[in-house]
Amino acid sequence: MAYNYAPGPINDTFFIPGGAVPGNGGQVFFYAAGSTTKQTVYKDNLGAASYPNPLVLDSGGNVPASGAVWFLAGNVYKAVYAPANDTDPPASPYANKTFDNLSGVNDVSATASEWISGPAPTYVSGSQFTMVGDQTPNFKVSGRIKATVTAGTVYGTITSATYINPTTTVNVSFASGALDSGMSAVSYSLIAVANPSIDADYTDRQASSIVSASTTNIWGVAGNSLHVSSTNQINSFSSAPYTGAIRELVFDGLMTLAHNGTSVINPGLANISTAVGDSARVYADGASTRVLSFNRKINPMFSATNTSSASMSSGVFTIITYNVSNFDNNSNYFISSGTFLPTVPGTYKIDATATLTAINSTKTWQLVVLRSGINFLEGEQFMAPPSGTFNFPAASVSALVKLNGVTDYVQISGNNGDVANQTLSTSNIQNLFTGYKVDV
């Protein structure tokens, strides 16, 4: 077996933090990297004898007997420096004097861990723990942590880290699992939060679903894509941990994204009503949150024509049942009743044309857009010339109609102003009913 000389600071003189006083009697605990499992260190390059663990420094803060520490090749170590009167394991190690992922000099066989051990944690709740000293330089918001708990190992994302002397309090969001009273160790990720060494495309992951609320915190989750359920209006996405953070959202319910110009900035600067399966890309722009894009799972549209010689009674409004569907991308048009009932809320462009076979002189023919059975907009009246019968008079109507995506529907009604009943033309190019969504 091979042994390699331990790197600095292991074989350097140790000084008590805050001054130039040698660490007389200081203890050095050696563990496997990222753990609290003790790992043996040796006195020479032959590994013939090992040091006690912890190793106790001499009065000058050095390895005793002018010796040196050697690591077993292939092993990666963590060294924890603690006062002479500390316990085993150390309850009060020196702040910022824990060195993780150490391997011997020129040891090419060692593999470093992506996790760096932190100080001993104190459990507070399933999502919170504390540590002694200011640990915020290492435990940063949006950084990842690994914790050892009763159930094993759990991984989470830091949502806040605050230092109030003498304690750092850390809150964590977990995709699965939680902290418990058996929490015994915590490590932080080697990957930096800002300007990480790995491309974000390789770290994308889906977080647990959250429930919509007036303030819907899309940032305090372990993942950059997530589903949002329920029907509660969203007035804020909460505060992002840093400018430039992005979340991909998929909506599992009908809810309103309320545009207010600050905490929610929507495309079109207006409220957006979601449908099941819609998605959005949300960007943290300083103190504001922008919905960069909003995508419908489907934008309902249809086209129908009439080929039936349906009777249009004299002097009354009659609903026209356009009986041939040209296309209907979301199955929202019902031929039997001539009804367009879209399942996605929004503003729809409605157009209709209908042609009678004939109409008597000076008589009128008019189309009306009905919204949920009530007159919404009347089209321009067609009036026949003052003499004789006029063949194939056509009427049309166009409207922008706001529909709720649940109960609102549209039909076309025709008003035959003739003294006699008339019939619709059976030509599909003379009778057309269309609708499509025009907003986001």
* Residue 276 to residue 287: CA distance in whole angstroms: 29
Under DSSP, is residue 204 helix (H, G, I), strand (E, B) or coil?
coil
Under DSSP, is residue 66 helix (H, G, I), strand (E, B) or coil?
helix
Predicted pLDDT at 96: 83
Under DSSP, is residue 269 helix (H, G, I), strand (E, B) or coil?
helix
Residue in 127, 166, 125 with CA at minimum distance from that of residue 145: 127
Predicted pLDDT at 200: 56
DSSP 121: P
Under DSSP, is residue 23 helix (H, G, I), strand (E, B) or coil?
coil
Inter-CA distances, 112 with 109, 116, 283, Å: 10, 10, 35
> What is the phi/psi pair of residue 267, to 5°?
-60, 135
DSSP 234: B
Residue in 432, 411, 417 with CA at minimum distance from that of residue 355: 432
Judge if 116-189 and 204-295 fold alike in CATH terms. Answer: no
DSSP 232: P
Going by pLDDT thresholds of 50, 70 and 90, the confidence category of residue 202 is low
CATH number among 1.10.3470, 3.30.470, 3.90.1690, 2.60.120, domain 204-295:
2.60.120
Task: For the beta carbon of residue 145, count every other beta carbon within 10 angstroms.
Answer: 24
Q: Is the peptide bond before 54 cis (omega within 30 degrees of 0)?
A: yes
For the chain, the domains span 1-113, 116-189, 204-295, 301-437
Q: Say if CB 6 and CB 103 are below 8 A apart.
A: no
CATH hierarchy code of domain 116-189: 2.40.30
Residue 22 pLDDT greater than 60, yes or no: yes
Tokens of 230: 């329920």
Task: For the beta carbon of residue 197, count every other beta carbon within 10 angstroms.
Answer: 7
At the second CATH level, the architecture of 1-113 is Beta Complex (2.170)
CATH class of residue range 301-437: mainly beta
Amino acid identity of residue 418, one-letter, is D
Predicted pLDDT at 409: 98
Q: Say if CB 307 and CB 285 are below 8 A apart.
A: no
| Dihedral angle of Cα 285, 289, 294, 297, to the nearest 10 degrees | 120
Going by pLDDT thresholds of 50, 70 and 90, the confidence category of residue 380 is very high
DSSP 410: E
Q: Which pTM was predicted?
A: 0.51
Task: For the beta carbon of residue 2, count every other beta carbon within 10 angstroms.
Answer: 15
Mean pLDDT for the chain overall? 92
pLDDT in tens, 392-439: 999 999 999 999 999 999 999 999 999 999 999 999 899 999 999 998
Amino acid identity of residue 128, one-letter, is Q
By DSSP bridging, strand 225-229 and strand 246-251 are parallel
Going by pLDDT thresholds of 50, 70 and 90, the confidence category of residue 244 is confident
User: What's the mean pLDDT in 127-147?
Assistant: 91
Residue 67 pLDDT greater than 90, yes or no: yes
Tokens of 104: 């011997």
Amino acid identity of residue 79, one-letter, is A
Predicted pLDDT at 190: 81
DSSP 392: S
* Residue 93 to residue 99: CA distance in whole angstroms: 12
Distant-in-sequence, close-in-space partners of 266: CB < 8 Å, separation ≥ 6: 257, 259, 272, 291, 294, 440
Residue 58 pLDDT greater than 60, yes or no: yes
